[in-house]
Structure 1
Amino acid sequence: MKRASKHSKISKILVYFELLRTRNCVITFLGVYLGVAVVLGTIPGDAAIFIAASAAFLITGGGNALNDYFDCGIDKINKPHRPLPSGRITKNDASMLGMALILIGIWMANSVNQYCLYLAILNSIMLVVYAVYSKKLLLVSNLCVSYMVASVFLFGGLATGSIAGMDLLVILIACSFLMTLSREVVKDIEDIEGDKRRYAVTLPINLGVEKSRNIAISFALAAVALSALPLILNLLKNPVDYAVFIAAADIMFAYTVFSLEPKDAQRIMVLGMVIAIIAFFVGALA
């Protein structure tokens, strides 16, 4: 009996981790450190940087929980396995947990510096806007997600309190924003049937799949073009290493937007983004 009770508690905890999308939270945590590395050219062991990364982790998890709360209806069609539509977590628990994590994250950001506090508050507001309006206003979902992903690196840069190396960071932020925007449009193409049933307002529904695909290609190609700037402007400490990784990432981006079905494209685009992040990381380190 005790063993069954213990197993039930562990299962409940794992469901909460699933709700928070822990993998995304960990990526956010590491993204803050990448922003730090790009600005400073090294990875310091300062407690303030760890606190900043932890704050970003919690705010991301809280935002994911709130997003699932507001998207419960549409997820019953597109993602019925998620914790809320499957009934493994109540909507009340999800909303309470989401708000608590966001508030704790803002409190932690305040202990780093005022710039991190301001960005944490802004991002928290954006997360709520995204959760409430993401499927009701054209492009709001795509732009919010793209901004949130790109702002993680800015958060890391601000946590350093330094402006040296910000030029490379700005390019990373721009590339990340455009590539995520492309991926989000591809994701909307994949989810078009479920979105139609819920009367969502997305690019594929309003403009059609073909035009939306062309828009996604345009964003991806713009990101690929920008990724050459660190080499052209001589902003890197390890340009050869950067060139190898970014070339691999750019080839993957080009291949996905031109050649694959939306579901496959999304997976390879994410892998390409990870490789691009590695490129900026190894290129910036002293």
Structure 2
Amino acid sequence: MATSASTPPAASVGIPSPSTLVELLKPITWFAPMWAFACGVVSSGMAAEGRWPLIVAGIVLAGPLVCATSQAVNDWYDRHVDAINEPHRPIPSGRMPGRWGFYVALAWTVLSLAVAAALGPWILGAALFGLILAWIYSAPPLRLKRNGWWGNAAVGLCYEGLPWFTGAAVMAGALPDHRILIVAFLYSIGAHGIMTLNDFKSVEGDERMGLRSLPVQLGTDRAARLACLVMTLPQLIVILFLSFWDCVGHAAGIAALLVAQLLLMSRLLKSPRERAAWYNGTGTTLYVLGMLVAAFALRALVQGAA
């Protein structure tokens, strides 16, 4: 999947250092899919004994492989935008010279598929789908990230729903319980809002490069209100589902976490551009804690049905 765009002028000839490679793969971004994978493992209702090698391999697949691949792909195709927003990044700064960023993205794609294939057909299918989304999110001609509606949906699915599905499928060795699929999908929708807030940091560069993120399309105030709504509604639906499934205690726990998020959202909306990163470090933490509470509710449901 080559590109005709030229390498940034700051690039130099040579081999990138290991630290530059790690920076390109952005370990800080691996937490979300690894956490979602762990939620999938918990929600499966299966005992971990005897399955630790599979669990560890799945966590590596979710974070250091598939998520890291998406970061490498995104940095390669975003190198000209990053030259405006984040010129210190490995590719625009020249520390990842020539086409090394592209080669790393290809290598990590192949490695991810190899590990996924060893874990079974359901995991391979999920990884393949996630990797396809990672490429079409960043790469032309589709480049889903050019429009925040589509791009954020793809990232939300890859960061929450697919890893959750993969964790449950690794444990069950089959298609997970339909209730697991419902809850994982709902949390994927909510992640769309998280990604909208993440786009606040790059509004200037997105405008100049023609990327129609939601803060660019709607303005920061309206985009922030939309993000809060999109994060809130799926959690309300999860609470209703869990209550209907007689997991009232777990539903109450998620409701309490949601109330705390709403209080933080009220502060976010007073100054969204300045506080978007702050909310992603506070309110999003409560969001993912709610995911774990939901996973334990699903675990009890699946075990009760066994």
Q: Same fold by TM-score, threshold 0.5 exceeded?
A: yes
Amino acid at match of 2:156: S
User: Deviation per CA, 1:97-144, whole angstroms, max 9, x where unpaired?
Assistant: 121112111111112221211111111111001112144235222111
Which of 40, 55, 73 aligns to 1:49? It is: 55
Q: Does 1:181 align with 2:189?
A: no
Q: Tell me which residue corresponds to 1:272.
A: 286
Output the CA distance in 2 between the equivalents of 1:185 and 1:59: 21
Q: Conserved in 1, the CA contact under 8 Å of 2:122 and 2:175? A: no
Which of 206, 219, 239 aligns to 1:208? It is: 219
Amino acid at match of 2:287: M
Q: Does 1:108 align with 2:122?
A: no
Q: Tell me which residue corresponds to 2:173.
A: 161
Rate the CA distance shift 1:278–1:98 in 2: closer, same or farther, 3 A. same
Rate the CA distance shift 1:55–1:220 in 2: closer, same or farther, 3 A. closer
Please give the secondary structure, in 2, of the residue aligned with 1:173.
helix
Rate the CA distance shift 1:264–1:88 in 2: closer, same or farther, 3 A. same
Amino acid at match of 1:277: M
Q: Does 1:38 align with 2:38?
A: no
Which of 265, 272, 277 aligns to 1:257? It is: 265
Matches within 5 A, 1:78-89: 78-89=85-96
Per the normalisation by structure 2, the TM-score is 0.78
Output the CA distance in 2 between the equivalents of 1:26 and 1:256: 22
Output the CA distance in 1 between the equivalents of 2:224 and 2:167: 32
User: When the two structures are aligned, how many residues end up with a matched partner?
Assistant: 272
Per the normalisation by structure 1, the TM-score is 0.83
Give the drift of 1:235.
Answer: 5.8
Q: Does 1:13 align with 2:18?
A: yes
Rate the CA distance shift 1:91–1:252 in 2: closer, same or farther, 3 A. farther
The RMSD of aligned alpha carbons is 2.5
Output the CA distance in 1 between the equivalents of 2:50 and 2:240: 30
Rate the CA distance shift 1:78–1:172 in 2: closer, same or farther, 3 A. farther
Q: Does 1:136 align with 2:142?
A: no
Rate the CA distance shift 1:187–1:22 in 2: closer, same or farther, 3 A. closer
Output the CA distance in 2 between the equivalents of 1:44 and 1:101: 30
Q: Conserved in 2, the CA contact under 8 Å of 1:171 and 1:230? A: no
Output the CA distance in 2 between the equivalents of 1:91 and 1:66: 15
Give the drift of 1:84.
Answer: 2.0
Which of 220, 225, 228 aligns to 1:217? It is: 228
Output the CA distance in 2 between the equivalents of 1:135 and 1:231: 33
Q: Percent identity?
A: 20
Amino acid at match of 1:15: T
Output the CA distance in 1 between the equivalents of 2:175 and 2:145: 37
Give the drift of 1:29.
Answer: 3.2
Q: Conserved in 1, the CA contact under 8 Å of 2:169 and 2:176? A: no
Please give the secondary structure, in 2, of the residue aligned with 1:227.
helix
Output the CA distance in 2 between the equivalents of 1:68 and 1:112: 28
Rate the CA distance shift 1:79–1:203 in 2: closer, same or farther, 3 A. same
Q: Tell me which residue corresponds to 2:11.
A: none
Which of 82, 91, 99 aligns to 1:92? It is: 99
Give the drift of 1:201.
Answer: 1.4
Output the CA distance in 1 between the equivalents of 2:35 and 2:49: 13
Output the CA distance in 2 between the equivalents of 1:122 and 1:39: 21
Please give the secondary structure, in 1, of the residue aligned with 2:92.
coil
Q: Conserved in 2, the CA contact under 8 Å of 1:35 and 1:156? A: yes
Output the CA distance in 2 between the equivalents of 1:190 and 1:235: 41
Output the CA distance in 2 between the equivalents of 1:127 and 1:235: 37
Give the drift of 1:226.
Answer: 1.9
Rate the CA distance shift 1:285–1:43 in 2: closer, same or farther, 3 A. farther
Amino acid at match of 1:146: G
Q: Conserved in 1, the CA contact under 8 Å of 2:43 and 2:296? A: no
Give the drift of 1:41.
Answer: 5.0
Please give the secondary structure, in 2, of the residue aligned with 1:81.
coil
Q: Does 1:243 align with 2:252?
A: yes
